[in-house]
Structure 1
Amino acid sequence: MFKRTRSLVCLCVAASLGMQLPVYANNIDLPDIGTTASSTLTIDQELQYGDAYMRMLRSSHPIISDPVINEYIDSLGHQLVANANDVKTPFTFFMIRDRNINAFAFFGGYVALHSGLFLHAKTESELASVMAHEISHVTQRHLARSMEDQARRSPATLAALAGSLLLAIAAPEAGIAAITATTAGNIQGQINYTRSNEKEADRFGIETLAKAGFDVNAMPRFFSRLADEYRYASTPPPMLLTHPLPEDRITDSRARARSYPERKVVPSIDYNLARARIVARYADINSESALDWFARTEKKAPSDIKPSFQYGRALVYLDNNQLDKAAELLQALLKQQPDNNFYLDAMTDLYLAKGQAPKAEVMLNNALKSKPNNSVLTINYANVLMKQDKNEDAVRVLQRYTHDTPDDINGWHLLSEANIHLGRRDEDLASRAEILALKANWNKAIQYYTQAGQIAELGSLKQARYDARIDQLIAARDRFMALQ
């Protein structure tokens, strides 16, 4: 798969970690906390603010725009969401390239994970405990409820507070979508974190973990390890600054975990493959350090996750152009699991590096027969077509892909590139306009579509499409500005 890093900002409401008393354990019922914020901030308004924040975030902080990683965290996240209480919004999971341990959630079901979490979470259940807690902050509407409480104690309305948060994270001198993470963090700390919210998210989070089939003891185990590791640190990680772990909280989480039946969870190969991919490509360490990490960690690892270390080494070799070493490892892995997207993606990179794009095309074609429209396979397939100058075919694939997944900037980048190769300046401009709109750069996006419309044949369907999209973007810009 082509490799690219993008930018996003670490804004807004990071929710702390924790866990929840089970509904069925000891016959204790959870309190009916309700959704008091609904009287002043509707779900629809939360979705609007969430979309606005996300667009602003895309322009400022490094996002891992890796289809393989995104597929994994999306799958894990929705496994948890399917077992969560009071889900009222869709959920979007994304990852920021940052070695600091952190996770946060904000309006509209957006949950961000720092890549550093994978370096500290030793099992999938530990990562799931972080995500379950963040999901609970969203489902229990903690940001809206905290802001509602502040609105009751000040002259400001809830909408004004939400709008001021939007303004505070945008630096006017740099234009809409330039975000100051420090300012956002300060406001976040003022309005979102209370002990009651943290404990509530803890309780609901652990219940979600249990229902989804994870090890509930992973939560107190992860808490304890973080607390011990950074107990005397002069600069603790962001997660402990915004997600404090006092001893009573760790004790409470441990007691709640014990109230559930013990469950033996088999180590997840996909989690360990994702972890290996992050160590190899996104941990900001050199290849020697990555190989050393794999060697040290493998010594203590159970046998059923050993393939993940071979995969990690293969990525390091591939990225350092040691293609024969990478090929030997990847071919063995694919024999074990021929339909594994981690391996198929890496083998695609290998074929392209060796100038064997037709082999990659055949391999991906076969894989798509069993997993049609899979995002990882589709984006790789389009890239392979372009490497063979089959740009017309690539455009057809990418037009459908961007229609189905319009928020994936990868698709728009490839569609722009394919149209450049075909000499279609107007379609290139339209693709780049969509990327700008995803980053809240509305005026530039409208400008690009206007230029595309001027290039298109007068009175053509294409020109009409561009004009219609301009109208949509103007309306979206006006809604966005009204939120402030």
Structure 2
Amino acid sequence: MERKLGEQIIREIRRDRDYLDDAPVIEYLNTFGGTLLSAFPEARGEAGYDFFFFAVRDPMINAFALPGGFIGVHSALLLAAQNESELASVLAHEIGHVSQRHIARMLGKQRQDALIPLASLVLAALAARSSPDASTALLMGGQGMAIQRQLNFSRDAEREADRVGLSIMKEAGFDTSGMVSFFGRLQTATRAYNDSAPAYLRSHPLTTERIADIQARTRDMRYRQRADSLDFHLIRARVRVLQDLTPQGLLDAVGALDMQAQGKTRNQLAAAKYGLAFAALKQGNPDKAQELLQQAVAATQGPAAPIQNVNFTNLAIDIKLAQGKAADALKEADAARAKFPLSRGIARQYADSLIAAGRLDDAVAYLRDQAQLYRQEPQLQDQLAKAYAAQGKQALQHLALAESYALNGALPAAMDQLGIARRAPDASFYDQSLIDARERDWKAQWRDQMKEGQKEKL
């Protein structure tokens, strides 16, 4: 039930415009989180959670855990973390909440149906950024307020999460003092922050007493100096650009990155140039982006060196696609697949490059195989729809779009796409059979969701 609830909430979050659906950011967070979990396997808890880490665009320094192993990180937190030990302290703390099943323990005496209204709290928190009044209205119901009170973490739960987090950091080789320094910064930021979001999604109540307790626990731990990875700096620069994609927001990011470029370390310089290249691409200037990316690579690998970093490679492929150099992009993406076989971002860029190069049959074959292997990636269905559209295959295009909507939890929109696919002039007998089967399944799922909604109202 925890996992089901977490999946329901994450589907709602993914539909929000502030969900950072950016492959390099998601890959970094999950690789980093995976490092923590690998060093301390018992953190997966008795339920053996399959964790998923993601980011949302938000100016508040915060992170939060959802039931079932979903952990969200605000973009401002990534920018505020000064090193990977500080970032590890926050993720380890949130892993502690999940592994100790704090949410389930607090709601254990409630009926199972009482878990479902938690999704409305997440929606209210998301609505708070654009419409505080709407958020307040969502939270004023008696049931919502009752659940919100249940979600206020007790001091014991926070201390338990701190203890587990410290153990995870120690086993993973991070500097445990990073928890003290970052939580102190988070405490300061929290004092100046006030909004109508529910307590569960606001910064945890980091009291002076709790910080003192962390200091006492870390006092006898041996200091460990850990060098930050280049990817940490690159992702922070990327997030700085993604924080605000308005023209003024991009100008502000460029100004901050220009100042960072004055830094004395190679990683700081490389990250600043990488961020400036990414910003130039977002501003529609791929040639300038190419020049800045070359400077970023030279700062860490030397001039004329082949790119060895996955984030550099990802941006290089995007630049070539933006320049209209589809053949070059395809060549680089194909080589990158062999170099970085676990990168989902590179895999999807390879498909984009096949489509851009006009190799539509190859793109469809590749994407169909990928969709069978990675059934929960709606991006693959979106790319399939694009490839089918370029081939003029209307029925298959709308079938792929229907699959994408369904994976994102938008079942009514998915069924609308099935209707369009059914009426397409090129819909074959096989297509019609598949449409009928999908429609039966999704209608049954929708009826179940409506029943749950009726139970919630009762």
Answer yes or no: same fold by TM over 0.5. yes
Equivalence for 2:8 = 52
Distance 1:164-1:310 versus aligned 2 partners, 3 A rule: closer
Deviation (angstroms), 1:479? 4.4
Equivalence for 1:474 = 443
Equivalence for 2:27 = 71
Letter in 2 for 1:430: L
Deviations 1:34-75 (A, max 9, x none): xxxxxxxxxxx2122222222233333521111111111111
Identify which of structures 1 and 2 has the higher relative contact order when contacts are C-alpha pairs closer than 8 Å and 6+ apart. 1
**Correspondence 1:250-269 to 2 at 5 A:** 250-269=211-230
Letter in 1 for 2:253: A
Deviation (angstroms), 1:294? 2.0
Deviation (angstroms), 1:266? 0.4
Aligned positions, number: 426
Equivalence for 1:310 = 273
Deviations 1:403-422 (A, max 9, x none): 33333332222222221121
Distance 1:349-1:252 versus aligned 2 partners, 3 A rule: same
Q: For 2:5 and 2:189, locate their aligned partners in 1 and report how far apart those are by CA, in whole Å.
A: 36
Q: For 2:34 and 2:379, locate their aligned partners in 1 and report how far apart those are by CA, in whole Å.
A: 22
Distance 1:54-1:353 versus aligned 2 partners, 3 A rule: closer
Q: For 1:243 and 1:387, locate their aligned partners in 2 and report how far apart those are by CA, in whole Å.
A: 46
Q: Residue 431 in 1 paired to residue 400 in 2?
A: yes
Q: For 1:297 and 1:468, locate their aligned partners in 2 and report how far apart those are by CA, in whole Å.
A: 55
User: Is contact 2:106-2:150 (8 Å) kept?
Assistant: yes
Letter in 2 for 1:191: Q
Match among 77, 85, 89 for residue 42 of structure 2 = 85
Letter in 1 for 2:94: E
Deviations 1:298-349 (A, max 9, x none): 4455334431112112212233344443222323444626232211121122
User: Is contact 2:394-2:426 (8 Å) kept?
Assistant: no
SS at the partner of 1:93?
strand
Deviation (angstroms), 1:459? 7.7
Equivalence for 1:401 = 370
Deviations 1:180-206 (A, max 9, x none): 765468566411221111111111111
SS at the partner of 2:384?
helix
SS at the partner of 1:449?
helix
Unaligned runs of 5+ in 1: 1-44, 152-156, 172-179
Comparing 69-78 and 186-195, the one that deviates more: 186-195
Equivalence for 1:282 = 243
Q: Residue 136 in 1 paired to residue 96 in 2?
A: yes
User: Is contact 2:86-2:182 (8 Å) kept?
Assistant: yes
Equivalence for 1:124 = 84
User: Is contact 1:85-1:204 (8 Å) kept?
Assistant: no
Distance 1:346-1:60 versus aligned 2 partners, 3 A rule: closer
Distance 1:266-1:236 versus aligned 2 partners, 3 A rule: farther
Unaligned runs of 5+ in 2: 125-133, 454-458
Deviations 1:200-240 (A, max 9, x none): 11111111111122221111100112333554x26389789
Deviation (angstroms), 1:145? 0.6
Equivalence for 2:317 = 348
User: Is contact 1:318-1:326 (8 Å) kept?
Assistant: yes
Letter in 2 for 1:280: V
Q: Residue 416 in 1 paired to residue 377 in 2?
A: no
Q: For 1:396 and 1:297, locate their aligned partners in 2 and report how far apart those are by CA, in whole Å.
A: 44
Q: For 2:419 and 2:53, locate their aligned partners in 1 and report how far apart those are by CA, in whole Å.
A: 33
Q: For 1:181 and 1:54, locate their aligned partners in 2 and report how far apart those are by CA, in whole Å.
A: 18
User: Is contact 2:270-2:295 (8 Å) kept?
Assistant: no
Distance 1:390-1:218 versus aligned 2 partners, 3 A rule: same
Deviation (angstroms), 1:450? 4.7
Question: Aligned residues: percent identity?
Answer: 30
User: Is contact 1:84-1:208 (8 Å) kept?
Assistant: no
Equivalence for 1:164 = 117
Deviations 1:284-303 (A, max 9, x none): 55343223212333445533
Letter in 1 for 2:184: S
Q: Residue 99 in 1 paired to residue 76 in 2?
A: no
Deviation (angstroms), 1:380? 1.0
Letter in 2 for 1:449: L
Letter in 2 for 1:161: A
